[in-house]
Amino acid sequence: MYHSKKNLEPIPEQQTSVWMCTSDDCTCWMRENYSFEKLPTCPICQSKMVKETKMLPPLNWAYNNR
CA distance 40 to 44: 12
Distance of alpha carbon 59 from the chain centroid: 9
User: Is 32 within 8 Å of 18 (Cβ atoms)?
Assistant: yes
CA distance 38 to 33: 10
CA distance 51 to 32: 8
* Residue 23, pLDDT score: 97
* Residue 66, pLDDT score: 58
* Residue 34, pLDDT score: 87
Residue ranges of the chain with per-residue pLDDT less than 50: none
Other residues' Cβ atoms within 10 Å of the Cβ of residue 9: 7
